[in-house]
Structure formats: structure tokens, C-alpha cells
Amino acid sequence: MKIDGFRGQLITADHAEYDTARTVWNGAVDRRPRLIARCGGTADVAAAVRFARCHDLEIAVRGGGHNVAGTAVCDDGIVIDLSAMRAVWADPAGRTARVQGGALWGDVDHETQAHGLATTGGIVGHTGVAGLTLGGGIGFLMRKHGLTIDNLLAAEVVTAEGEILRASADEHPDLFWALRGGGGNFGVVASFRFALHPVGPTVMAGPLFWAAGDTVDVLRFYRDFISEAPDELGTVIRLGTVPPLPVIPEDLHWRPAIAVACCYAGAVEDGERAVRALRRFGSPLVDLLAPMPYAVFQGGFDDTVLHGWHYYWKATDLTGLSDDAIAVIADHAYAATSARSYSAMFHLGGAVARIPRDATAYAARDVAHNIIIDAVWLPDESGDHAATESAWARGFLKALQPHRAGSVYVNLLDSDDTARVREAYGDHTYQRLAEIKAKYDPDNTFHHNKNIRPS
Ligand SMILES: Cc1cc2nc3c(=O)[nH]c(=O)nc-3n(C[C@H](O)[C@H](O)[C@H](O)COP(=O)(O)OP(=O)(O)OC[C@H]3O[C@@H](n4cnc5c(N)ncnc54)[C@H](O)[C@@H]3O)c2cc1C
């Protein structure tokens, strides 16, 4: 097998690395592509796209390989694999970073924090920059610095024709708009340029855990606490069991618990003040909030969601944290069978909500809370666990029906959620995306994703 103009690695079923190369983060995904084209740079990406078009091959595009639906890999077709393109070049003087399309957030935090800089990224270091950014990008810094896409300055894109374009506010602005939330529908992004901001490197951050029995009280307190919180304070709730991390006392491991993870993107002393009331609330099982390097904090959750475990997600935006919504959450959050299953809720708002709704393709700017119900089981538990854990996630989502905002973050949709893509955008944004899709990818070449059909 040969691709004209391609210098990367070509991996077919007879290659020793084939089984590793077709694996994605979600171990429940098991697809067998005909060819994996592991690109070394932008020219390889363009050559691979042209080859796929010419041979009428189904295309999957792989960034970090983290999408729960496993869209980074397809059966029979070609995977345009950017996993070897992980370089990050920080420019501290210009406060920007250029990031290749296969980089992970841990790569970005590592390089940018060397200069005391950061941009809004995901909360798990092994998540891919590309897929996360193209869907919007939520994380601890977003209330202060906006979504990841709000920090995107430019992207180098390989189109469905194999052409290399630069999209920015001044070049192909329609494409630039669509890339900021519209997912992998418009081309393969070979590199991104992001704005950076001073963050840390030492920040006040960490999680606090309370016993599961305290969930209603903690969530009611949390609701009031964050209503007054400064934009610098990013928080994520985690409901499940205490993960068996070395930093947590062993006798607490696997105990049902609610955690509030905090990160204050400002001076440590201000952060200490901002979290004081939370730390004093009730009787936490353990308080791990402390001044720590931002990059260390960002990697702190990596081992709680390992590659190869089996995952099934359900997600929705919420209208708010009413007493009723809290009661539903407390009722369902701990009813999973597997101790690894959990749910998480991000607190949005702040800078996210200050950007006009139509400035980018991320439509749900006014939503302050979402929930991800994450069913997890181990590969050798697949049988009944797959059914029971997935049923738990679906039942939890159903119970939340009265509290759903009518929108969902596109990056959280699983493979059985394809009918919900419109819900992620709303009619107006979806229509505009479909028109831009018709201009840049009229044949829907890039459809192995949360697809927007050209119109
Ligand atoms: C453990 C975990 C933690 C997460 N935490 C967060 C979080 O904190 N914040 C958040 O916003 N999201 C989070 N997510 C969701 C995440 O945004 C999505 O899973 C996202 O798709 C991951 O991107 P990826 O590049 O790793 O995915 P991949 O599976 O590689 O790609 C997903 C899709 O993105 C498109 N794509 C990928 N690379 C490119 C490219 N270079 N050019 C064009 N299209 C491309 C393709 O359509 C592909 O099918 C998390 C996911 C996981 C599994």
C-alpha cells in the first residue's frame, strides 16, 4: 500500500501495531479499518484525504481518540490518524501557542505552563485538543477565559478536496465560525493557534469530598456558593465513589461520595479566600484543596478514567439546580452497580455567557450547568455490566427530563445519540452550519462524526 506524497506510517491489518493503532480510549469500541494513515504533518494529512477521496474510502479522523462514541475509528475505511502530530510551540511574548492536531491537553499544559501561561482546556490530560476544541471546549478556566473556542485565533485546515486553508477572523471567516463548535465536519485541522493567559503556575486547586449521604445538602449549599463565586473560580462536581488515587487515604477508596473539584485562576491568596466557605461546609471526608502547580492539578484526574475501560455516556444541559433537580440527582447518582460509574457537572457561565450566542457555533451560552452520566465497566465485566450500567445512565437521564434545558454539549453525545445533534445546536445554528458544510464539504466526506448534513 502506498499513498502519493505521504511520508508517515501506513498501518494495515497485517502490521504488528494494527491492534494498538485501531484502539481508542473507549475499550467498548472495536472497529477494523482497512488502513490507518498515521500522519507526520499537514502535507501527509492532505495526501491522505486526497487518497481517500480518490478511492472512495470511508474516512475517520483521529485526534486524541477520546470521543466516547469512538468516531476516531471506522470499519473498513481509512483512519486519518494525527496521533503522531503532538507538537506545541508556545510564544510567550505574543501569548499564543500553536498546537498540532493530534496533541493532548497534557501536552499543551506542559509547554504553556513552562511560561506561566494556559488556555482553557479539558479537565483530563489525555483528552485530545482537536475534538475537544472543535466541539467548544469546557474546563476549569472557562468562566474566566471563555471556552476553548473563544481562545482559538486560527486553524490550519485540510479540506475535503485536500486543499490547505487557514481559517481565522480574516481568512475564511465562515469556516472559522463553523470550526468553533461545529465539530469535525468541515475538514481536518492540522494545527490550531490559541490565545494564552497568565495562570499560576501555582494555583489554589483540588477536590473536596463529602459522604454520599450529604449530597442534597452539599448541592444546595454549592448552588448558593457558586452564585456569588468570582469568574476565577472554576468548579466541577463529581458524584460516584472516591477514586483510589494515592493522594487519598486508602480507607476512603471506593466509598460513595460527592466531590467538588475547584481551580482558582488567580492569586493563591484570593483563591484561598474564594474557597473558604466551601471548605467549612459540613464535614468533608477529605479536603485536598491546596496551592499546587496548575499542570499537576490538570493531570490529577487522569487515572480515574483509564484507556481501555468500557464507557457509555448520557448527557444533558440543565435548567438549573432547583431543589427538585437536586433530589433527582441524589436519588440516581449512586444507583449504578459498578463502583467506577460516576456523573459530573460543570459550572459554566461567567465569560462563556458573555460572548454573544451567534459569535460561534457553540449555541448554549446561557446554560450554567450540565451533567454527564458516565457508565463505566471493565472489559472482563462486559456481559451484564454493559446492560445494567447503560440502563442506569439512561434511567438517570430520563428522570432528569423535567430539568433538561433542551440543549446538550455535542462532545458528550454517544453513538446512540445521533438524533440529538440538532439538540446540540438548535435550529438556527444547525442551519447555518449546514450551509457552511455545503460550501466546504458538499459531498459530506467528513461524516463519521456528529454529523451536520450539507444543505
Ligand atoms: C476522559 C474524558 C474527559 C473529557 N473532559 C472534557 C472536558 O473537560 N471538556 C470538554 O469540553 N470535553 C471533555 N471531554 C469530551 C471531549 O471533548 C470529546 O471526547 C472530544 O471528542 C475528544 O477529542 P479527541 O480529539 O480526543 O477525540 P477523537 O475521538 O480523536 O475525535 C473525535 C472527533 O473529533 C473530530 N476530530 C478529531 N481530531 C480532528 C482534527 N484534527 N481535525 C478535524 N476533526 C477532528 C473527528 O470528527 C472525530 O471523530 C472528555 C472526554 C473524555 C473521554
Last residue of a domain, one of 46, 81, 116: 81
For residue 355, tell me if it sits in a domain: yes
Same domain, 351 and 298: yes
CA distance 276 to 262: 12
Write out the residue range of the structural domain in which residue 347 sits.
202-415
Q: What is the CATH number of the domain that holds 58?
A: 3.30.43.10
Q: What is the pLDDT of residues 339-369, one digit of tens each?
A: 999 999 999 999 999 999 999 999 999 999 9
CA 154 to chain CA mean position, Å: 20
Query: Whole-prediction pTM value?
Result: 0.98
**Which of 411, 418, 440 has the most ligand 1 atoms within 8 A of CB, as the residue to mutate?**
411
Give average pLDDT by consecutive 10-residue segment, the chain, 455 residues: 94 98 97 98 98 98 98 98 98 98 98 98 98 98 98 98 98 98 98 98 98 98 96 98 96 98 98 98 98 97 96 98 98 96 98 97 97 95 84 98 98 97 97 98 98 97
Residue 392 domain-assigned (yes or no):
yes
From 37, 52, 81, give the residue that closes a domain. Answer: 81
Question: In the chain, what is the greatest distance between 2 CA atoms, to the nearest angstrom?
Answer: 65
Assess whether 309 and 223 both reside in one domain. Answer: yes
CATH of the domain at 118: 3.30.465.10
Is 83 a pocket residue for ligand 1 (Cβ < 6 Å)? no
Residue ending a domain, among 38, 58, 81, is 81
Let me know if residue 436 belongs to a domain.
no
Q: Do 22 and 108 sit in the same domain of this protein?
A: no
Instruction: State whether 35 and 124 are in the same domain.
Output: no
Residue 427 included in any domain:
no
**134 close to ligand 1 (CB < 6 Angstrom):** yes
| H/E stretch holding 262 | strand 256-264
Domain co-membership, 140 together with 289: no
Check whether residue 68 and residue 141 sit in a common domain: no
124 and 215 in a single domain? The answer is no
* 71 CB within 6 A, ligand 1: yes
Q: Are both 182 and 217 inside the same structural domain?
A: no
Q: Is residue 153 part of a domain?
A: yes
Ligand 1 proximity of 121 Cβ (cutoff 6 Å)? no
Å from CA of 128 to ligand 1 middle: 5
In a domain, 48, yes or no: yes
- Does 69 fall in a domain? yes
Domain count, the chain: 3
Ligand 1: distance of its center to the CA of 66 in Å? 5
Cα distances from 285 to residues 243, 261, 330, in angstroms, run: 13, 14, 18
Q: Is the domain of 275 the same as that of 145?
A: no
3-state secondary structure of 258: strand
Residue 36: partners with Cβ closer than 8 Å, 6 or more residues away: 10, 11, 12, 18, 21, 22, 78, 79, 81
Q: What is the pLDDT of residue 211?
A: 98
In a domain, 449, yes or no: no
Is the CB of 181 within 6 Å of ligand 1?
A: no
Nearest-atom number in ligand 1 for the CA of 138 is 11
Tell whether 283 and 189 lie within a shared domain: no
Task: Give the Å distance between the CA of 250 and the centre of ligand 1.
Answer: 32
CATH of the domain at 353: 3.40.462.20
CA 313 to ligand 1 centroid distance, Å: 14
Same domain, 254 and 108: no
Cα(135) to centroid(ligand 1), Å: 8
Atom index in ligand 1 nearest the CA of residue 127 equals: 26
pLDDT score recorded for residue 310:
96
Pairing of strands 88-91, 369-377: unpaired
Residues 59, 156, single domain; the answer is no
Write the pLDDT tens digit of every residue in 405-440: 999 999 999 999 999 999 999 999 999 999 999 999
